[in-house]
Every structure is written in C-alpha cells, then in structure tokens.
C-alpha cells in the first residue's frame, strides 16, 4: 500500500467509508482512525499498529449527543463533557451495545472523546459513524505529533495521513472515569486533576499502575525511544554516563558540554510548550546516534505531571 500525506478531506471520508484507515490530526497526538462500528476496519487498526488485541480503542465523536448514543453517561461525566470537550480529555463510561466488542477489546466500558481539531471535527461531520483511533504509532513507540511522524512509523500500512499540522497539546488526552463519589484518573494528560475537581467537586484518585517495575525486565516500557533513557538529577547522571555520547532533555537549563548535547524543551520555562516539544524531541534524539538520553525531573504541577509521567514510562527497561 502506498501511503500519502495531504489535506484532502473528501479523500479521507471516502477511505473511511470504504473501511480503510486514515491517520487524523487531533490537538493531543495523531490518531490512527477507522470506522469504530466496523469489525473489518477495527481489526485493520490492531494489525497496522501491531497492537495486542486486548488493548481497547478510544471512540472519537463529534458532539455530546453522540456520546449518549454509544455510552451511558452519568451527570458528572456530562458536566466534564459539556465544559471540557472538544478538548484533551477522554471519559471512560459504561458502553452501550451500539459499540462492537472488538472496539473495546471485550470490555463493557468504552473510552470516548471529542477531539479539538478543526479538520477532524469537519471530517466527523461528514461521516455517520464514530472513529476508533489509538495514537498513530507502532505499538510501544513514541506517539506522533506531526503527519511526518505518522508517515515514518506507518508508511506502507495505511492509505492516507490527513495533515493538520503539528499538534497543539503534544501529549495524549487525560483519561478519567467517574466512580460515583470520586473520579479515577487512568492517564494524566492535558487536563489536570485539579481542573476536574474544580469542575465537579469530586475528589480525584489515581489508578495504581505499576509504571516502573522494581526489577528490570518485568514490564515493557511505553512511549519509549530506542535510545536508553534515564531520569533524575542531571549532574549526577552525567557523572554516571561519562565517556558516552549524551543527549539531555531539560526544561530550560542548558547542560551542553563536549560530549553532551542539551535539548531545552522551553527556553522560557513554559510547561505547555515543553509538553508540546517532548515527543518530537525524543524522536529527533533517536535519529541522532546518541548512546544515552538523560532527562530532568520536571516541576510536578499542571501539565508537568503528564510530562513526568511520559518520561518515566520512556525510561530504559531491559527487554
């Protein structure tokens, strides 16, 4: 299959109606989209990404009526949807049987969001089905924040990449689930726990996920570059890795030296800009023949929490 990149909405619509896959821009990362109601299209998504069949997909819809068509939304979830969507937030809700089991990998819950990108919202207006879309990267690698990133990872496996420019948030959506008297946060992202509490009055609890195994080799990493990445105090890490060709990821401090190349994610120390640059920078470093990536611990506030989460998951784990 020949993969092309362009801005032709009609071409994207025609491919999706024919149960083919199209990579779509969102404000978070690019998604690999197919008709969420078609088993044929959804199985192509799993195949193209080499994604394990037990890992469910997010439904992308155009409005709140559509959320109600595919899920049972409680009052707090509807408030979150009304105020924060379209936006970088995904709701995990009880699924209606309008959604095929393959899309949710057999789960009776469905993850659903309204992406905030004009091209993709226009696309959703022109089709009468929701789009299932995981991030448009081969399973396990860094999520794509530009059309070229998608092409680099999935060339030959999908027909078309709808180019909506670089994404504006740059990290995957926050995933949350209202549990009656509290909210469970399954993935940190562009919307913070504090924002959810302010909006609903509900306490936010984090899902206890073993992100970093105690013993190397226990768990496969996610969002991971090929170059080994270590996180912590930069001066100390530089000592430990002396003699190697080092790439550093920092917020704004420049650690450059003879064998050390520093990539500041935001020279003015802006965490949103840093979040936006993280994945593209990891990809650039991966192409640059470095032996090791050393990453700073970012401030644990706002989207800094999501930056730290992604860097933690990108850490070097023996596979």
Q: Footprint of Mg ion on this chain (CB under 5 A)?
A: 135
**Of 92 and 294, CB closest to ligand TXA:** 92
Smallest separation (angstroms) from ligand TXA to the CB of 252: 26
**Of 115 and 228, CB closest to ligand TXA:** 115
Q: Which does 26 bind (CB under 5 to 8 A by kind): ligand TXA, Mg ion, none?
A: ligand TXA
**Of 22 and 246, CB closest to ligand TXA:** 22
Smallest separation (angstroms) from Mg ion to the CB of 274: 20
- Pairing state between β 229-231 and 203-206: unpaired
| CA 138 and chain centroid, separation | 12
Q: Which does 91 bind (CB under 5 to 8 A by kind): ligand TXA, Mg ion, none?
A: none
Interatomic CA distance for residues 78 and 63, integer angstroms: 11
Smallest separation (angstroms) from ligand TXA to the CB of 173: 3
- Pairing state between β 58-60 and 4-6: unpaired
**Of 134 and 304, CB closest to ligand TXA:** 134
Smallest separation (angstroms) from Mg ion to the CB of 296: 24
Alpha helix ranges (H) inside the chain: 9-17, 39-49, 64-70, 75-84, 118-125, 147-154, 193-200, 234-240, 271-286, 304-313
Smallest separation (angstroms) from ligand TXA to the CB of 261: 29
Q: Which residues lie near ligand TXA (CB under 6 A)? A: 26, 28-29, 31, 55-58, 90, 92, 104, 107, 109-111, 115, 133-135, 172-173, 175
Q: Which does 29 bind (CB under 5 to 8 A by kind): Mg ion, ligand TXA, none?
A: ligand TXA
Smallest separation (angstroms) from ligand TXA to the CB of 264: 25
Count, residues in the chain:
319
**Of 241 and 310, CB closest to ligand TXA:** 310
Q: Which residues contact 311 (CB under 8 A, 6 or more apart)?
A: 229, 231, 249, 278, 295, 298
Interatomic CA distance for residues 21 and 154, integer angstroms: 11
**Of 9 and 105, CB closest to Mg ion:** 105
Please report how many Cα atoms fall inside a 13 Å half-sphere around the Cα of residue 123, on the Cβ side: 34
The sheet carrying 89-94 orders its strands as 4-6, 160-162, 22-24, 31-35, 131-132, 58-60, 109-113, 89-94, 174-178, 182-187, 203-206
């Amino acid at each position: 299959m020949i993969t092309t990149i362009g801005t032709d909405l009609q071409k994207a619509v025609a491919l999706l109606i024919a149960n083919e896959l199209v990579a779509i821009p969102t404000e978070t990362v690019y998604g690999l989209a197919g008709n969420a109601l078609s088993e044929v299209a959804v199985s192509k998504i799993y195949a193209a990404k080499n994604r394990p069949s037990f890992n469910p997909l997010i439904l992308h819809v155009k409005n709140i009526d559509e959320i109600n068509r595919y899920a049972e939304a409680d009052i707090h979830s509807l408030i979150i949807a009304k105020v924060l969507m379209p936006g970088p937030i995904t709701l995990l809700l009880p699924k209606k049987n309008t959604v095929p089991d393959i899309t949710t990998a057999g789960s009776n819950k469905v993850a659903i969001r309204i992406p905030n990108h004009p091209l993709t919202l226009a696309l959703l207006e022109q089709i009468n089905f929701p789009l299932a879309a995981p991030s448009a990267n081969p399973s396990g690698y860094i999520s794509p924040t530009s059309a070229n990133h998608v092409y680099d990872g999935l060339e030959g496996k999908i027909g078309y990449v709808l180019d909506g420019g670089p994404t504006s948030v740059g990290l995957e959506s926050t995933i949350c689930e209202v549990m009656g008297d509290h909210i469970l946060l399954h993935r940190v992202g562009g919307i913070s726990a504090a924002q959810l509490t302010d909006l609903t009055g509900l306490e936010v609890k984090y899902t206890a996920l073993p992100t970093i195994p105690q013993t190397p080799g226990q768990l496969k990493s996610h969002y991971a570059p090929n170059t080994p990445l270590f996180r912590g105090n930069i001066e100390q890490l530089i000592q430990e890795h002396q003699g190697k060709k080092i790439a550093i990821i920092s917020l704004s401090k420049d650690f450059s030296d003879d064998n050390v190349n520093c990539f500041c994610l935001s020279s003015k120390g802006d965490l949103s800009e840093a979040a936006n640059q993280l994945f593209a920078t990891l990809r650039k470093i991966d192409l640059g023949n470095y032996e090791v990536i050393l990453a700073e611990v970012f401030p644990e506030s706002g989207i800094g929490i999501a930056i730290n989460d992604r860097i933690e998951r990108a850490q070097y784990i023996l596979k």
